[in-house]
Amino acid sequence: MQQTISSTRLRLRKSRNDIPPTTRRRYNRLIHQHLLTSGLFNRGSRIAGYLAYDGEPSIDLIIQRQHKANRPFYLPALRKQQLTFKAYRFNDTLANNKFNIPEPTGHQSFNPKYLNTILMPLVGFDGHGNRLGMGGGFYDRTLRFTLPASCKKHPLLIGIAYSQQKVNRLLKQPWDIPLDAVITEQGLQCFSIKSLSLLRPPTR
């Protein structure tokens, strides 16, 4: 089983990296448009995301938009085996963490409970909102607090991906935290009741 998951990760990462630059730019613009019309910004301005790595869709236009509107944007930073979030303004100084992923250098960290929305990169997803990440378990550990039904307030989790990253069915492990929605170049797909009520309904 582990073998299958590892080979699925490799296959999906390779095909994501293989997208030609012009196609990638077109897809990124479409993802940006879908983000703008998704209703995500009505939910509150405390939005976290990521800097694209390993062929992930770039959401730099959203980061720039927040910057121009003088609204905060947050990026993950490693803290032991979990992620914390730090404010980031476009073009701020960054420093590489131990995985060579750039992080904001500020000292103030925010707990994910503080955020309205997290835009999450992913390697694969399925039609039920199951998410396959890079395999570190960092997002899963960080978002573990959202699992109990008693947790009423937690950030909306939106996966950002290219549609080719969708797979038939991912085996959900007990620690996996499902996505509320995914946005690809093809549009928004909602998986949770929460996302159906908060975001624009699927376009298909």
Residues forming contacts to ligand ATP in the complex (CB under 6 A) are 132-141, 144, 173, 175-176
**Residue type for position 108:** Q
Q: Tell me whether residue 44 or residue 135 sits nearer to Mg ion (CB atom).
A: 135
Q: How far is the CB of 16 from Mg ion (least distance, A)?
A: 17
Query: What residues between 101 and 160 interact with Mg ion by CB under 5 A?
Result: 140
Q: How far is the CB of 117 from ligand ATP (least distance, A)?
A: 17
From first CA to last CA, the distance across the chain in angstroms is 33
With binding defined as CB under 5 A, does residue 92 bind Mg ion?
A: no
Residue that has been written with the tokens 């694209």 in this structure? 52
Q: How far is the CB of 175 from Mg ion (least distance, A)?
A: 6
60 contact, one of ligand ATP, Mg ion, none, CB 5-8 Å limit per kind: none
**Residue type for position 196:** L
Q: Which residue is nearest to ligand ATP (CB)?
A: 133
E-assigned strand segments in 62-134: 73-79, 82-87, 94-96, 102-104, 117-121, 124-125, 131-132
Query: What residues between 164 and 183 interact with Mg ion by CB under 5 A?
Result: 176
Cα separation, 118 vs 111, whole angstroms: 12
